[in-house]
Amino acid sequence: MFTWGDGRHYQLGHGKSEIVRTPTLVQLDHHQTNSLNSSSQFQSVSCGWRHTLAIDIDNHVWSWGCNRKGQCGIISNDINIQIPSMVQTPTYVNILQVAAGWQFSLFNTG
């Protein structure tokens, strides 16, 4: 996935709070992907006000950006999640879709 634009709240997933003017590859932490490949294929993406959600091809949910209200679903003392981080979801659900809102997020299950 490539992102660009206003990333001042880390919502682009590049690990920097800056404006990016050209499409730039989003790198994933290979320790979280169980793969040596540091980029992953996403099947679905949703952009909120200052955060982003994505589902990878293995149905894992990832989030990054502003987490001030917990909208990234990552338990952290950090206000911003600087790079894509895997959201801990119940193992018994089949996640079909993610949606990022103003300061909230959701996923739909089948």
**What's the start-to-end Cα distance of the chain, in Å?**
25
Least reliable range by pLDDT among 10-14, 22-26, 35-39, 43-47: 35-39
Place of tokens 């490949």: 37
Confidence of residue 38 (pLDDT cuts 50, 70, 90): very low
Write down the pTM of the prediction.
0.88
39 has pLDDT over 70: no
Number of domain units in the chain: 1
73 has pLDDT over 80: yes
Domain, as residue range, for 79 = 2-109
Question: Which of helix, strand or coil describes residue 12?
Answer: coil
As a whole number of angstroms, the distance between CA 23 and CA 49 comes to 19
